[in-house]
Amino acid sequence: MTKLKDIAERVGVSISTVSRAISNDKNRPVNEQTKQKIFETAIELGYSFKEKYSPKLNHNVTPVKQIACIVPRHLLGDHPYFSQVLEGFHDQINELDQLQVIVRTADEIAGPDGIRTLIQEAGVQGIVAISWYDKELFELLDHLKIPMIGVSFNDEELSIPVVDCDRIYSARVAVRHLIDQGHSKIGFIGGPPYSECMDNDERYMGYKFAMLENNFPFPSEWIINTHWQVNNSYSMLSDLLSTYPKEEWPTAFFCASDMLAISAMRAVVEKGGRIPQDIAFVGMDDISVAQYTSPPLTSVRVPKYEIGRGAAQFMANYLEGQYPFLPKVLLPCSLIVRESSTFDRRSYNSVS
């Protein structure tokens, strides 16, 4: 079945541009030449137009609910994680008969006036926030009684419906895997959630839970808050490895994202360490490049595409009043074991 991603790749535009063209977004229209090329490509690839998206349709025939998807600008385009979430979201929207979506970046709707304009001019009835949080605007949306759900949120402090994966449990599984390999001094590399408090990050919670249930102490000097900057993961770990002798290094790290893990792995290699013999690594997300690192990175596979589809379906159900309370829909993850963590220290220590 042809997807928006297929059309976008053929035309050479973003998925959101294809979505805006096919949904006939009047508030952020696509120029006619590009729009025509998108429709021609869609027909050529056998894309199945829903009636409300057909270029020949009188849009008054089938009433639909208008929603907005708000995403930070840096997460659009070919992002290794969120492009798959957005693809799943768009695909499910196009399979539903009751929703039409417009995509906006957080910059475009910045401030109360921007969100009010979006609601009034576009007739928005619900908002999907993909890894976007603005305390003032969230409070305004609540005051305006606009239904809202969060996607890929990892902060226990936020009280809105969420569609995500079970990050606490997944982090526990990742750390348990390292423990099963004989590790006890396990570091953590991650960042804070929206509340800016590391203790509220679900991956950090899962890491701590796994350490506590095994009565392992927290190596506080090896808990690295990168503020989600890949460069910080590399530079901060490099500095720490230079500060401590090799025998005092942790033997493993659980990293809250694959991108943080990949840059940290480079720091270890440049400081003369071997992976996984000296330091083992487990990441999270299982982005496509994880299998091609040297050595290939063990990672928690997050169902990114399914999270996007689930968010679209959730919003459709939410607007129909199917959730009288604030649920949290958590999809299961799986650990994909590769060479970055498959060195059994128990047999190594017994030989030593």
Helix axes 15-22 and 32-44, enclosed angle (nearest 10): 90
User: Would you place residue 27 in the very low, low, confident or very high pLDDT band (cuts 50, 70, 90)?
Assistant: low
Contact 245, 212 (CB under 8 A): no
- Tell me what pLDDT residue 348 has: 62
Q: Indicate the domain borders of the chain.
A: 4-146, 167-301+335-351
Report the topology of domain 167-301+335-351.
Rossmann fold (3.40.50)
> 5-9, 24-28, 93-97: which range is least confident on average?
24-28
In this structure, the number of other CB atoms found within 10 A of the CB of residue 16 comes to 24
Which DSSP state fits 333? -
In this structure, the number of other CB atoms found within 10 A of the CB of residue 103 comes to 24
- Tell me what pLDDT residue 233 has: 98
> 153-162, 166-175, 201-210, 268-277: which range is least confident on average?
153-162
- Tell me what pLDDT residue 51 has: 46
The residue ranking higher by pLDDT, 102 or 272, is: 272
Sheet holding 252-255, edge to edge: 223-225, 186-190, 252-255, 280-285, 298-301, 334-336
Exposure letters 135-150 (e unless 16+ CB within 10 A, then b): eebbebbeeeebbbbb
Indicate the SS3 state at residue 270: helix
Which DSSP state fits 155? B
286 contact partners, CB below 8 Å, separation of at least 6: 258, 299, 300, 301, 302, 336
User: Would you place residue 352 in the very low, low, confident or very high pLDDT band (cuts 50, 70, 90)?
Assistant: very low
CA 53, 57, 63, 66 dihedral sign is: positive
User: Would you place residue 49 in the very low, low, confident or very high pLDDT band (cuts 50, 70, 90)?
Assistant: low
DSSP per-residue letters across 176-225? HHHHHTT--SEEEEE---TTS-GGGBHHHHHHHHHHHHTTPPP-GGGEEE
Give the whole-angstrom CA distance, residue 40 versus residue 255: 44
Q: Amino acid letter at 39?
A: F
Please calculate the CA angle 313-315-317 and round it to the nearest 5 degrees. Answer: 70
User: Would you place residue 59 in the very low, low, confident or very high pLDDT band (cuts 50, 70, 90)?
Assistant: very low
The residue ranking higher by pLDDT, 344 or 256, is: 256
Q: What is the pLDDT of residues 185-234, one digit of tens each?
A: 999 999 998 888 899 899 999 999 999 999 998 899 999 999 999 999 99
The answer, yes or no, to whether residue 42 has pLDDT greater than 90, is: no
